[in-house]
Amino acid sequence: MSGHDKELSIAEDAKKMLRLAAEENIETVWDRLHAQEPQCGYCSLGLSCRNCAMGPCRIDPFGEGPQKGVCGADADVIVARNLARAIAAGASAHSDHGRDILEALYHVGRGDTEVYRISDEDKLKTIAGEYGIETENKDVQTIARELAWEMMEDFGTRKEELTFLKRVPAPRRELWKKVGVTPRGIDRESVETLHRTHMGVDNDYVNILLHGLRTSLSDGWGGSMVATEVSDILFGTPKPVASKANLGVLKPDMVNIALHGHNPILSDVIVRAAKDPDLQKLAEEQGAKGINLVGLCCTGNELQMRLGIPMAGNHLMQELAIMTGALEAMLVDYQCIMPAVVEVAKCFHTRIISTFDKAKFTGATHIPFDPARGLEIGKEIVRIGVENYANRIHERVMIPGTPTEMMAGFSVEAIVGALGGSPAPLVDAIKAGKIRGAAGVVGCNNPKIKHDYGHVTLTRSLIENDVLVVVTGCSAVANGKAGLMVPEAADLAGSGLREICKALGIPPVLHLGSCVDNTRILVLAAALANFLGTDIDRLPLAGAAPEWYSEKAVSIGAYVVASGIYTVLGVQPPIFGSPNVVKLLAGGLDDVIGASFAVEPDPEKAAVLIRRHIEKKRAGLGLPSVDPESIPLP
Ligand code: SF4
Ligand code: MSK
């Protein structure tokens, strides 16, 4: 197993663990991908449909076999329906996460939990103001209750548009109205997507895809934005913080517990539970020097952004982290957790502990989380990890290398704070051409792309050419591990970006948080557009997801484009069975929504596409620019 002849990762810790996997014959995600190959051509092109029992159907891409499903749906309709369903699934994942956090806020407001409290009162009041809630002479608890109640209404069907749409620049809101993509209710749009894509409902691929965009907007400006803002209210708005990353953050002489998934509700109490003197004492009695918490994926990002908790790795590192033999427990909430972790853990002493009733893992220990008893449950879970230290086989422990330093915690508030309270200095640097523009490099890992290569190569190339990069999710981990997220990394940037970063003492690559925190990028883009009195699509901005895999990433890409930001994907989405859908998404949308997608697996080339786009936008704003075509493709 894992005996692949090509290099699977650029990360040294991953490479070492993959060698161990090959020696010990432990199956990983790369082996399972290999076993699946060749993957189904119909599905890869988006040409298969199993939406009803007259099917499953598939369309022959060569034009020789059937061109219609049993119901008569053609390639355009089938591809569009499949894509819209992926968006709805991704939007639902984010939005349900948002609802879970919101319910915690409601518990705080009702006073039926002692576990959580309001950490950022200013933000609570600001957002309550955005929701039209009077805050004068009201206690914090009342404001929390009223805000939670109002936010819950955003999930339903009562409102004509989502409350956070007030943040969107006026011209874009008008455009959304004209095109008919204004998101109304967070749940409503996803449900309507499932309705529309049922057999015999929406059979116009353009109409289906436009509703797909509306659904994604209900995520970006709805469910995910609720998740981010309420997390800030409950757990604190991130501020720049020093941290570390890679498997070297595991400690050979401590109880190691990894927190994996996306929702900070449980991990927040685990952090407190791990400080419990009784549990610390128990760890010492077991022969350990203490309890070491580390993050994985976006739960890790949430903890790193707010508390500087070290990051063990991103999506493709989850199995490899267990193989260090140094992990007493992996605590999982939901999303991006491979069922395979349970199997890998069987080869070691690691306990996999699932915590949400909506995300059980056969073979794992399930301890259901209840916000009202959060701390008690947190202690129970930490105790399992501590007691498991006795089962560690110390001779088997292999922690590869030492951690890399990185900075996290760049919320929009922190960025504007670093700029002296206004976006003006950033705008001036862009106007002067010191910074050509900004790009969000976000999203997952995918074993089809060399691990972290897409993120790091693209990011490096952009900063070398004076494009400020903001990162979230697995991209943040990749770039942190590559050493690009410390102020000293400014030396790797072009002269203009270097000068600005040095003056501000910030890295050229800023960590904006987890997957739901892509909404921080929307908020920043909207703030820049509003500051300049223009629309987002006129700004020199771009997005990229070089190694994406998940349905959530499809929703993110769609809402970023629908918000007016050109986006380059590194992995081909399953749409190429319909030339009409490809034409619409990769260019046609420019005339509809002012932005579109591109697909470019080579990150060096993707960087050039982004730079050309940024120069085009600079020219459109009358700023000094270079001829986009003069930037050669590698
Ligand atoms: Fe086939 Fe149409 Fe049913 Fe899809 S909805 S499975 S194309 S009959
Ligand atoms: S964890 S959605 S693999 S970024 Fe958010 Fe990473 Fe993608 Fe999951």
| Span 61-110, pLDDT tens digits | 999 999 999 999 999 999 999 999 999 999 999 999 999 999 999 999 99
468 forms bridges with which residues in the sheet? 438
The Å distance, Cα 278 to ligand 2 centre, comes to 35
The Å distance, Cα 51 to ligand 1 centre, comes to 6
Atom of ligand 1 nearest to the CA of 70: 8
The enclosing H or E element of 179 equals helix 170-179
598 forms bridges with which residues in the sheet? 568
pLDDT digits (tens, 9 = 90+) for 453-491: 999 999 999 999 999 999 999 999 999 999 999 999 999
Question: Which of 78, 197, 44 has the alpha carbon at shortest distance from 581?
Answer: 78
The Å distance, Cα 534 to ligand 2 centre, comes to 32
Please tell me if the CB atom of residue 271 comes closer than 6 angstroms to any atom of ligand 2.
no
331 forms bridges with which residues in the sheet? 259, 353
Mutational test site, ligand 2, from 332, 441, 474, max ligand atoms within 8 Å of CB: 474
Please tell me if the CB atom of residue 315 comes closer than 6 angstroms to any atom of ligand 2.
yes
The Å distance, Cα 309 to ligand 2 centre, comes to 18
513 forms bridges with which residues in the sheet? 472
How would residue 578 be classed by pLDDT, with cut points 50, 70 and 90?
Answer: very high
Please tell me if the CB atom of residue 515 comes closer than 6 angstroms to any atom of ligand 2.
yes
Yes or no: say if 221 and 161 are a contact pair by the CB < 8 Å rule. Answer: no
> How many other CB atoms sit within 10 Å of the CB of residue 355?
26
How would residue 6 be classed by pLDDT, with cut points 50, 70 and 90?
Answer: confident
Output the average pLDDT for the chain: 97
How would residue 284 be classed by pLDDT, with cut points 50, 70 and 90?
Answer: very high
The Å distance, Cα 617 to ligand 2 centre, comes to 30
Please tell me if the CB atom of residue 49 comes closer than 6 angstroms to any atom of ligand 1.
yes
Distance (Å, rounded) from C-alpha 473 to C-alpha 257?
20
457 CA to centre of own chain: 19
320 CA to centre of own chain: 21
Asked whether residue 136 carries a pLDDT value surpassing 80, the answer given is yes
The Å distance, Cα 575 to ligand 2 centre, comes to 22
400-430 core/surface letters (b: 16 or more CB in 10 A; e: else): beebbebbbbbbbbbbbebbeeebebbbebb
Question: Which of 524, 568, 571, 519 has the alpha carbon at shortest distance from 547?
Answer: 571
For residue 533, what are its two tokens?
């009195």
Please tell me if the CB atom of residue 487 comes closer than 6 angstroms to any atom of ligand 1.
no
For residue 566, what are its two tokens?
């050109």
Atom of ligand 1 nearest to the CA of 72: 2
Please tell me if the CB atom of residue 73 comes closer than 6 angstroms to any atom of ligand 1.
yes
Question: Interhelix angle for 473-481 vs 453-464, to 10°?
Answer: 70
Residue-by-residue DSSP string for 283-329: HHHTT-S-EEEEEEHHHHHHHHHHH---EEE-GGGHHHHHTTS--SE
Question: Which of 602, 268, 330, 567 has the alpha carbon at shortest distance from 443?
Answer: 567
The strand order across the sheet containing 311-313 reads: 365-366, 351-354, 329-332, 255-261, 291-296, 311-313, 241-245, 404-408
For residue 479, what are its two tokens?
């770039």
Mean pLDDT along residues 510-536: 97
Of the listed ligands, the closest to the CA of 513 is: 2
Please tell me if the CB atom of residue 58 comes closer than 6 angstroms to any atom of ligand 2.
no
Atom of ligand 2 nearest to the CA of 314: 6
Mutational test site, ligand 1, from 43, 47, 48, 49, max ligand atoms within 8 Å of CB: 49
Distance (Å, rounded) from C-alpha 277 to C-alpha 79?
56
Q: Residues 294, 297, 298, 302: what is their CA dihedral angle, to the nearest 10 degrees?
A: 20
Atom of ligand 2 nearest to the CA of 514: 5
Please tell me if the CB atom of residue 74 comes closer than 6 angstroms to any atom of ligand 1.
no
Distance (Å, rounded) from C-alpha 449 to C-alpha 7?
10
Q: In 494-574, which ranges are continuous DSSP H helix? A: 495-504, 518-532, 551-562
For residue 66, what are its two tokens?
């059937």
Please tell me if the CB atom of residue 55 comes closer than 6 angstroms to any atom of ligand 1.
yes
The Å distance, Cα 551 to ligand 1 centre, comes to 21
How would residue 371 be classed by pLDDT, with cut points 50, 70 and 90?
Answer: confident
The number of residues making up the chain comes to 634
pLDDT for res 20: 97
pLDDT for res 525: 98
Please tell me if the CB atom of residue 70 comes closer than 6 angstroms to any atom of ligand 1.
yes
DSSP state of 259: E
> How many other CB atoms sit within 10 Å of the CB of residue 466?
24
Of the listed ligands, the closest to the CA of 67 is: 1
Please tell me if the CB atom of residue 203 comes closer than 6 angstroms to any atom of ligand 1.
no
Mutational test site, ligand 1, from 42, 50, 52, 195, max ligand atoms within 8 Å of CB: 52
Mutational test site, ligand 2, from 514, 550, 556, 560, max ligand atoms within 8 Å of CB: 550
Percentage of the chain with pLDDT > 70?
99
Question: Which of 402, 358, 353 has the alpha carbon at shortest distance from 382?
Answer: 353
Please tell me if the CB atom of residue 297 comes closer than 6 angstroms to any atom of ligand 2.
yes
Pairing mode, strands 365-366 and 509-513: unpaired
Question: Which of 321, 79, 93 has the alpha carbon at shortest distance from 212?
Answer: 79
Residue 399 C-beta-side C-alpha neighbours within 13 Å: 17
Of the listed ligands, the closest to the CA of 550 is: 2
The enclosing H or E element of 480 equals helix 473-481
Of the listed ligands, the closest to the CA of 546 is: 2
The Å distance, Cα 336 to ligand 1 centre, comes to 29
Mutational test site, ligand 1, from 71, 76, 208, max ligand atoms within 8 Å of CB: 71
Say whether pTM exceeds 0.95. yes
The Å distance, Cα 578 to ligand 1 centre, comes to 16
pLDDT digits (tens, 9 = 90+) for 150-189: 999 999 988 999 999 999 999 999 999 999 999 999 999 9
Mutational test site, ligand 2, from 552, 555, 556, 571, max ligand atoms within 8 Å of CB: 552
Please tell me if the CB atom of residue 473 comes closer than 6 angstroms to any atom of ligand 2.
yes
Name every residue whose Cβ is closer than 8 Å to that of residue 431 and which is 6 or more positions away in sequence.
623
Mean pLDDT along residues 225-253: 98
How would residue 373 be classed by pLDDT, with cut points 50, 70 and 90?
Answer: confident
Mean pLDDT along residues 327-337: 98
The enclosing H or E element of 33 equals helix 29-36
pLDDT for res 5: 55
Q: What's the one-letter identity of residue 147?
A: L
Q: Which sign, positive or negative, has the C-alpha torsion 414, 419, 422, 427?
A: negative
Asked whether residue 401 carries a pLDDT value surpassing 90, the answer given is no
Token match 């929009």: residue? 412
304 CA to centre of own chain: 14
Question: Interhelix angle for 75-110 vs 224-235, to 10°?
Answer: 20
Distance (Å, rounded) from C-alpha 410 to C-alpha 484?
14
Distance (Å, rounded) from C-alpha 70 to C-alpha 90?
28
Mean pLDDT along residues 233-249: 98
The Å distance, Cα 500 to ligand 2 centre, comes to 30
Of the listed ligands, the closest to the CA of 199 is: 1
pLDDT for res 4: 58
Distance (Å, rounded) from C-alpha 372 to C-alpha 358?
18
Of the listed ligands, the closest to the CA of 75 is: 1
Distance (Å, rounded) from C-alpha 169 to C-alpha 448?
38
Yes or no: say if 631 and 557 are a contact pair by the CB < 8 Å rule. Answer: no
The Å distance, Cα 512 to ligand 2 centre, comes to 14
Please tell me if the CB atom of residue 342 comes closer than 6 angstroms to any atom of ligand 2.
no
Of the listed ligands, the closest to the CA of 72 is: 1
Asked whether residue 3 carries a pLDDT value surpassing 70, the answer given is no
How far apart, in Å, are the Cα atoms of 462 and each of 77, 445, 470? 37, 19, 11
Instruction: Cis check for the bond before 574: say yes or no (omega within 30 of 0).
Output: no
Yes or no: say if 11 and 451 are a contact pair by the CB < 8 Å rule. Answer: yes
How far apart, in Å, are the Cα atoms of 495 and each of 167, 297, 422, 435, 490? 34, 33, 23, 9, 9
Radius of gyration of the chain (CA): 24
